[in-house]
C-alpha cells in the first residue's frame, strides 16, 4: 500500500499541466528563434532549458485537457522534440543526417512513446485534424514553414494557426509565382500531404488561394520546387 501511495504521489509531483509546459516552451522559443531560424549553437552551449522542456513533453498530463489544449500541446511538443533531437546530435547539417529522425527515434509524449511521424499523423492530424498544422509543425529544415518564436496556446490557437498559415502562403519564397510564365511552384508538403489539403477543396491551389492576398489564377501551371533539408539555423 505504501508503495502504491508513493507512486501516485510521485506522479502528482512530477506531472505537468499543458499551461505550464506552454509557458516554458514559449520562453525558450522567444529567446532562441528569430525570423523562423533557431539559434542551435546557443542552445547546445547551454542545454539545460531544452533538456527540461523535453522532459516536460513526456511528463505533461493530458487528463481532463480540452481538445484545443491537446492540439496546442501536440504542436508544441513536436517542435520542442525536434529541437531537442537536433541538439543531441549538434553540430549537424540536416535532420536527414540523423538516422531515424522522423520515423524511428522514439520520444516520451504525455506518457506515450512516439516517433515524430506518429505524433504528427496519429495524434495530431488524425485525432485533431487541421491542415493548417502543416504550417506550424517545423521539421528543422530550411524549406519548412518558419518556426514561430512563441508557443501555441489553446485559447488563441485558431487565430495563431490562421495567422501562421496566411504568413506562409503569402511568402514569395514558400509560394513562388511566376506571372510571366503563368506558373507557380509550391512546397512538396502539398504533394506529400495532398489529401489533407484537398479534403474539403477541389484542388491544392484552391486551398492555397483561401489564404492569399493575391489569388493565383486557376489556369497557372503548378509545379514543385526542390525541398531544402539544410538545417534551419541562425
pTM attached to this predicted model: 0.92
Q: What's the pLDDT tens digit per position in 103-112? A: 999 999 999 9
Computed on alpha carbons and rounded to an integer, the radius of gyration of the chain in Å comes to 19
- Residue 16's DSSP bridge partners are 60
**What spatial distance separates the first Cα and last Cα of the chain, rounded to whole Å?**
53
- Give the span between the Cα atoms of 187 and 194, in whole angstroms: 11
Q: For residue 169, what are the CA distances in angstroms to 117, 125, 216, 226?
A: 23, 20, 11, 17
Contact call for residues 43 and 83 (beta carbons, < 8 A)? yes
What are the two backbone dihedrals, phi and then psi, of residue 62, each rounded to the nearest 5 degrees? -100, 10
Q: What's the pLDDT tens digit per position in 71-98? A: 999 999 999 999 999 999 999 999 999 9
Q: Which residues contact 67 (CB under 8 A, 6 or more apart)?
A: 128
pLDDT band at 16 (very low <50, low <70, confident <90, very high): confident
Cα 221 from chain centre: 29
The cell numbers describing 7, all together, are 507512486
Residue owning grid cell 496556446 = 153
Q: What's the pLDDT tens digit per position in 22-79? A: 999 999 999 999 999 999 999 999 999 999 999 999 999 999 999 999 999 999 999 9
Q: Where are the domains positioned within the chain?
A: 2-224
- Give the span between the Cα atoms of 208 and 204, in whole angstroms: 6
Q: Is the pLDDT of residue 14 over 70?
A: no
Q: Is the pLDDT of residue 221 over 90?
A: yes
What are the two backbone dihedrals, phi and then psi, of residue 183, each rounded to the nearest 5 degrees? -135, 155
Q: What's the pLDDT tens digit per position in 156-206? A: 999 999 999 999 999 999 999 999 999 999 999 999 999 999 998 789 999
Contact call for residues 161 and 132 (beta carbons, < 8 A)? yes
Amino acid at each position: 500500500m505504501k508503495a502504491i501511495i508513493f507512486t501516485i504521489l510521485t506522479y502528482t509531483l512530477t506531472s505537468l499541466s499543458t499551461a505550464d509546459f506552454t509557458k516554458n516552451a514559449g520562453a525558450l522559443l522567444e529567446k532562441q528563434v528569430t525570423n523562423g531560424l533557431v539559434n542551435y549553437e546557443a542552445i547546445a552551449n547551454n542545454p539545460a532549458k531544452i533538456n527540461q522542456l523535453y522532459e516536460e513533453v513526456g511528463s505533461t498530463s493530458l487528463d481532463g485537457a480540452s481538445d484545443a489544449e491537446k492540439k496546442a500541446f501536440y504542436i508544441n511538443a513536436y517542435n520542442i522534440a525536434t529541437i531537442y533531437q537536433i541538439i543531441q546530435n549538434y553540430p549537424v547539417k540536416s535532420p536527414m543526417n540523423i538516422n531515424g529522425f522522423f520515423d524511428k527515434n522514439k520520444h516520451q509524449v504525455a506518457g506515450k512513446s512516439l516517433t515524430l511521424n506518429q505524433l504528427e499523423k496519429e495524434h495530431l492530424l488524425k485525432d485533431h485534424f487541421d491542415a493548417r498544422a502543416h504550417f506550424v509543425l517545423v521539421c528543422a529544415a530550411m524549406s519548412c514553414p518558419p518556426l514561430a518564436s512563441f508557443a501555441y496556446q489553446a485559447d488563441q490557437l485558431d487565430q495563431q494557426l490562421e495567422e501562421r498559415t496566411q504568413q506562409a502562403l503569402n511568402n514569395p519564397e514558400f509560394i513562388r509565382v511566376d506571372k510571366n510564365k503563368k506558373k507557380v511552384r509550391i512546397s512538396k508538403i502539398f504533394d506529400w500531404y495532398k489529401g489533407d489539403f484537398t479534403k474539403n477543396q477541389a484542388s491544392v491551389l484552391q486551398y492555397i488561394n483561401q489564404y492569399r492576398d493575391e489569388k493565383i489564377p486557376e489556369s497557372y501551371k503548378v509545379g514543385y520546387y526542390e525541398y531544402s533539408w539544410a538545417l534551419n539555423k541562425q
